[in-house]
Amino acid sequence: MRVLILEDEKPIRDLLSVNLRRAGFEVFEASTGEAALSIVKDRKDFDIALLDLMLPGMSGFEVCRRLRAEFPRLGIIMLTAKSQEVDKVMGLESGADDYVVKPFSPVELVARVRSLYRRMYPGEAVLQENNIVLPPFTLMQDERKLLKDGQDIPLTPTEFMIVKLLMEQPNKAMNRDDILTAVWGQYFMGDLKIVDVNISRIRHKIGQEAAGPQFLETVWGFGYIWRG
């Protein structure tokens, strides 16, 4: 697995780099947003990017938006020193799959990186041979793609897992807690807001409008349902 670390504080960057390398990852480092974008564009084969939010010059939010636009299936984890709800939401709305609030333990961060990687590349035994077809959508599990009327809808690794989870059980409401556990893992330390933000991003990508067909519905006070 290739991981990019974008962190302007060298002691923190060194700590992250050492622990990720010990865990067996190939690590690249950048101290500015501009440098991070240049590295990713040169190689184009990164699996996960760890992005600090508060940076000199280009912010982590902007780096996230640009990476997500060009590499829709890249795994992105935001690093922030702030615990305010607005920072978490802004990071997720920029396209991040997950967030970690500083100070964090290296063990926790490595675990979160591994968890995201498993969502991106599940074992072959988890994948089914057949696509899931719920017109106008087709979920191609082997290629990890969602098609709408034959057109590819780029999803982040986390968005793909949520869509897969809901499309596997069409017309069945799923609790937000169950979605959180199934996608982020039993020991995820975040809150339910991360589910809601990802659902909102999915709705935008599939072209769901308030006045149009409601493929992905909210079950108020409970969770979400995918209509077949």
Q: What is the predicted pLDDT for the residue at 140? A: 87
Q: Which of 170, 169, 163, 172 lies closest to 206, judged by CA?
A: 163
pTM above 0.85, yes or no: no
What is the CATH architecture of 132-226? Orthogonal Bundle (1.10)
Q: What is the predicted pLDDT for the residue at 159? A: 94
Q: Tell me the pLDDT tens digit for each residue of 71-129.
A: 988 999 999 876 666 777 788 888 899 888 888 888 888 888 988 887 777 543 333 44
What number is the average pLDDT over the span 199-221?
Answer: 88
Least confident piece of the model among 11-25, 104-118, 127-141, 191-205: 127-141
Q: Do residues 87 and 80 lie in contact, with contact meaning Cβ atoms separated by under 8 Å?
A: yes
Q: Tell me the pLDDT tens digit for each residue of 49-63.
A: 999 988 888 999 999
Q: Which of helix, strand or coil describes residue 213?
A: coil
Q: Which of 205, 215, 220, 213 lies closest to 175, judged by CA?
A: 220
What number is the average pLDDT over the span 187-207?
Answer: 88
What number is the average pLDDT over the span 140-147?
Answer: 86
What is the residue extent of each domain of the chain? 2-120, 132-226
Q: Which of 107, 123, 126 lies closest to 187, judged by CA?
A: 107
Q: Is the pLDDT of residue 169 over 70?
A: yes
> What is the 8-class DSSP label of residue 172?
-
Note the Cα 183 to chain centre separation in Å: 10
Q: What is the predicted pLDDT for the residue at 126? A: 34
What number is the average pLDDT over the span 184-209?
Answer: 87
- Token pair belonging to 216: 């992905």
What number is the average pLDDT over the span 13-32?
Answer: 92
Q: Is the pLDDT of residue 194 over 80?
A: yes
Q: What is the predicted pLDDT for the residue at 208? A: 85
Mean pLDDT of the chain: 86
What number is the average pLDDT over the span 143-151?
Answer: 87
Q: Tell me the pLDDT tens digit for each residue of 173-185.
A: 999 999 999 998 8
Q: Is the pLDDT of residue 1 over 60?
A: yes
Determine how β-strand 174-175 pairs with β-strand 216-219: unpaired
Percent of the chain clearing pLDDT 70 (strictly above): 94
Q: What is the predicted pLDDT for the residue at 85? A: 66
Q: What is the predicted pLDDT for the residue at 16? A: 92
Q: Which CATH class is domain 2-120?
A: alpha beta
Count Cα atoms within 13 angstroms, Cβ side, for 132: 18
30 Cβ partners below 8 Å, 6+ apart? Answer: 4, 5, 6, 36, 39
Q: How many CB atoms neighbour CB 115 within 10 A?
A: 19
In residues, how long is the chain? 228
